[in-house]
Amino acid sequence: MKKIFLADHAGYCFGVKRAMKLAWDELENRENKNIFALGPLIHNKQAVEKYEEKGLITINDIEDIDSKNVNPKEVIIRSHGVAKEVYDQANEKKLEIVDTTCPFVKKIHELAKESYEKGKKIILIGDKNHPEVIGINGWCDNKAIIVKELKELFDIELDYSVEYVVVSQTTMNEREFDVIIDYLKDKNINMVVNNTICSATKVRQQSAREISNKVDLMIVIGGKHSSNTQKLVSICKESVDTIAIETKADLIDFDLGKYDTIGVTAGASTPDWIIEETIEYIENGVI
């Protein structure tokens, strides 16, 4: 009999749970409204499909919304948040806004905006292509210095005449963040560090690390485009064989037979039902 360990804090975090509920409530009460999501609601294809079946229309750009159509229109801003200019565009188009930006991300927007307006320079530790990072940068006029890895800082000329304010993408790996901060401290620049890595991310990464130290195999469930899922994968890989899956169907061709102890964790955009189905498959092998 296999031993299965499910990590604490696997699956939806507070911010995603809140955003998904707000969006679902809108869809339940939509009457004749067209409801758009600006980008996939979360990085989980299966969950997004459920919302689309209920009537949600996913778009990639607010310009894709045709204002001439007579039905009232509403745009959902997802938990990652967006730049200030997106709110301006939505207001210009007279769209109703349902803002599901996670309150923790909102705080970073405020910090970036206030600091920038006071003449400070923002260093944003994160992935420049991630929607959350693009959104944060949009609150400081897209002027943040964005770095994901220490080596990216080597080519940047630091200015000793200004004050830097450091913030982070909420899902950054804590260790990578610390390495970058240590480097900046050594450079003796004038800076204020705000570790804005979300506590949900920290505890999720910590429990994935703990479990991966006591099992033969880790299974990480989450969307292929989910940054926090990919970070869990790399953390688990430091200790043990690790596979990344989106659903239990990805396990069909994988030989679980040779593993006695299996750990399971999941990214912040993975619904409970996908985690439950996966555990059931590991236990019983039935799709």
Where do contacts with ligand SF4 occur on this chain (CB under 6 A)? 13-16, 79, 102, 104-105, 170-171, 198, 200-201, 268
**Residue 239 annotated as binding site:** no
Find the residue with minimal CB distance to ligand SF4: 15
Cβ-based burial of 20 (10 A; exposed 0-12, middle 13-18, buried ≥19): buried
Q: CB–CB of 130/106 below 8 Å? A: no
**Residue 170 annotated as binding site:** yes
**Residue 227 annotated as binding site:** yes
Question: What beta strand segments (E) does 69-163 contain?
Answer: 73-77, 96-99, 121-125, 145-147
Q: How far is the CB of 85 from ligand SF4 (least distance, A)?
A: 22
Cβ-based burial of 5 (10 A; exposed 0-12, middle 13-18, buried ≥19): middle
Instruction: Report the Cα 126 to chain-centroid distance in Å.
Output: 11
Q: Over the range 38-54, which residues count as b (16 or more CB within 10 Å of their CB) and which as e?
A: bbbbbbbeebbebbeee
- Which is closer to ligand SF4, CB of 15 or CB of 138? 15
- Which is closer to ligand SF4, CB of 147 or CB of 197? 197
**Residue 130 annotated as binding site:** yes
Task: Quote the tokens at residue 168.
Answer: 């982070």
- Which is closer to ligand SF4, CB of 9 or CB of 121? 9
Task: Quote the tokens at residue 184.
Answer: 């900046």
- Which is closer to ligand SF4, CB of 78 or CB of 120? 78
**Residue 226 annotated as binding site:** yes
What are the residue numbers of the active site? 132
Q: How far is the CB of 19 from ligand SF4 (least distance, A)?
A: 7
Q: Cα–Cα distances in Å, from 44 out to 16, 61, 236, 275?
A: 11, 19, 20, 12
Q: How far is the CB of 285 from ligand SF4 (least distance, A)?
A: 32
Binding region:
13, 43, 80, 102, 130, 170, 198, 226-228, 269
Binding region for [4Fe-4S] cluster:
13, 102, 198
Binding region for dimethylallyl diphosphate:
43, 80, 130, 226-228, 269
